[in-house]
Chain A
């Protein structure tokens, strides 16, 4: 699986970039969400993968017993996911508002409307 993941992330990145470059507002949001997702998994993989072992200290011990997962990327990821959600929510509402105001789903029309 470690070997497959980089390819999966690459595909995710490609699709998200393709959507972001799209002129349609809706696809822009989807692209952003996918891009965030791809970045999260990317970070996770870069931090090193451990198959199945969690980052929790067992009841019987006072320190963690090898093997255990690296908690640092996980903590980073948690933050990233939550912040990403804030961004997504804001973007969705913003685009809804833009659509309401301009009655257009085309990014280029916004440029002209200025």
Chain B
């Protein structure tokens, strides 16, 4: 399996090159890839049906528990087959749909990357591994939604999808980490086997909430559903593949995968049906009011995802089976319908439902595909959708706790599905129309064969997929009892009556659809909907950060300095306050008695020099006073046993004064630059900084620590380096390389000074 994924990545990145070589025939090798995947997974079917699991693991970062661990059980295999078989058809369909675009290679690259990442999700056993592929699907989804990069709505939608699912992905990552912490296992299989004794853990609830957030954003559950309709800006093969059949099911997959761990918790049993129910009803209602074919399909997808989440939340045997059957049924018929929508768009140039009329005679195969899919969508015997609906009602009836909710949601959603299925097949294709829409071109086989095959599968898929579906349910609910059949036939039972009622209500609803379509919804209808809120938040965040940066970094040096200094002072004060560092100055007053006269004189000299410096208007005076302060510093060094430092200080101070005086006539004269308003503020900042430094220094003096270095140099200077002046020995011997660095710095500064002096201002006054 690892090598399969690896090959997939290699082929994906080779796609642009292949396009360069093969032109439009690039689809051949890229269709072969999912074909090989499908063959491999079909080859695995008998083993998995017998209850075996295929595992494989490669060490990656063992110290962090990040391993490439893969595991193929019933659930994984079901999804893997779905992804790879669907991949074959989508690659073929893309050949017909995308036509000749210079970016075709890139498109195939993204699509293949996505396919591999999606396979990675469903066969990963390791948390980190799953998260990695999860994020990769978000990123490829972003790239594919924004494929029409010249359109601004594509870019906006791509951003939105990435931000929503990316944020959800982070929540999921946190959730998985907490889960790993709580259970001590970082693989799904390990967690299932360890007895799942994490319900008492304090991390159980946060982990569950975070995982739910991740899954809800990925699977477009209310209130995060808004990115999915916008994602329809992607080319239609992408919508069919990512946004109806596979990627949005990743959340469902993970919920199913983790449901043995979580489904005994009340919050899980409560939240999932509630969120799923709201999503299902809302999606169904919004689907009725839209006239854009892809928007209608997007909202019914949201509705179907809601139903799936609800079923997983119920968690009984029937519900689990219903979820899986419905999932496969939905993937098949919705994929078909999306492809049909794309074909219609391609052939007629519009996706508006009221315009699409009377197409059956001219696009018979497309019509046939749509009709097959519509059968399944409406849940008519003997399609897979029918089985799904039967199981849905059965699980609703067998579940007393949430009977009303589940039944109502199932009825409403089912009704809308019937109505929309009729619109999409009967009204577009088969109803007689006096003004049939003109065709721009006929549908090529690439455009109608894939949906037709998929449509056939959705009708005939019942018997073929039953054993695998049952095996997959076993992965979710290990104690499930199966009798080899999906539905126990019960004759003309309540379930069948409910099913018939749904169909009848759907028929009535269908008659009202032209009226509903008179005034379709736009985003302006929901000023406080999640989509509008998202855009509000987004634009405010951008303008807010722009304003913030502008205030903070306004281009004035001293403002930056003030922020830095204030932050420094604040931090120091906080630490002083937190550790309650108090001075004991009183204990040290006695030291003032040993003060010598020349020390006092020096002190007074420096202070008065500084006062003079503050008040003088003469540059020469300033320079002289600066020199005075520097020489006083040298005196301090002599007093405290540092003759070398003092000598250097004297030398440097002299040099500085000389340079100053030499350049004096070229330096700006003093002029009074008034900033009276800010003057007090600057004084405050300056004094605050000075006081903090004084306080820190006094503290350091009180809590002096002795260093071992002093003893080391005291002993080693002469014996090892044969020098009596320890400071010099350190500079030229022990830390000789550092001194070399210092000399280099000086050399660089000298070069800089020389270059600056040589630089002639260009004409016009600017350097």
Interface residues in chain A, defined as those with a beta carbon under 8 Å from any beta carbon in chain B: 1-15, 17-18, 20-26, 30, 33-34, 37-38, 40-42, 44-46, 48-59, 61-64, 68-72, 74-75, 77-79, 81-90, 92-97, 99-108, 111
Contacts and interface: CB of A to CB of B under 8 A. Distances in A.
A48 B704 contact: yes
Contacts of B685: 17, 21
B229 to A, nearest CB: 46
B154 interface: no
Measured as residues with beta carbon below 8 angstroms from the partner, the interface class of chain B is 35 or more
B599 interface: yes
Contacts of A105: 668-669, 671, 673
A64 B717 contact: yes
Contacts of B709: 70, 72
4 tightest A-B CB contacts, nearest first: A105-B668, A14-B690, A10-B694, A86-B749
A1 B597 CA distance: 10
Given A34-B629, A57-B726, A82 B746 contact: yes
A43 B761 CA distance: 40
Given A71-B710, A92-B663, A46 B697 contact: yes
A93 B643 contact: no
A75 B735 contact: yes
A25 B670 CA distance: 9
B68 to A, nearest CB: 51
B549 interface: no
Given A23-B675, A33-B656, A64-B715, A17 B700 contact: no
B569 to A, nearest CB: 11
A9 to B, nearest CB: 6
Contacts of B752: 90, 93
Contacts of A48: 704, 706
Given A44-B645, A71-B727, A81-B652, A94 B633 contact: no
A64 B753 CA distance: 42
Contacts of A30: 613, 622, 626
A103 B663 CA distance: 15
A41 B607 CA distance: 15
B610 A108 contact: no
Task: Name A's interface SS.
Answer: helix
B718 A63 contact: yes
Contact of A90 (B561, B589, B687, B753): B753
Contact of A81 (B645, B693, B749): B645
Interface string B709-749: 11001110111000011110111000100110010011011
A72 B710 contact: yes
B704 to A, nearest CB: 6
Nearest to A10: B694
A2 B701 contact: yes
A9 B636 CA distance: 12
A83 B557 CA distance: 23
B351 interface: no
Nearest to A12: B610
A34 B607 CA distance: 13
B633 to A, nearest CB: 6
Given A55-B726, A61-B718, A85-B746, 7 more contacts: A1-B596, A1-B639, A3-B591, A45-B700, A70-B707, A71-B717, A86-B745
Contacts of B714: 57, 63-64, 68, 71
B174 interface: no
B60 interface: no
B224 to A, nearest CB: 45
Interface string B691-707: 10110011011001011
A89 B657 CA distance: 10
B527 interface: no
B631 to A, nearest CB: 11
A13 B671 CA distance: 24
Contacts of B64: none
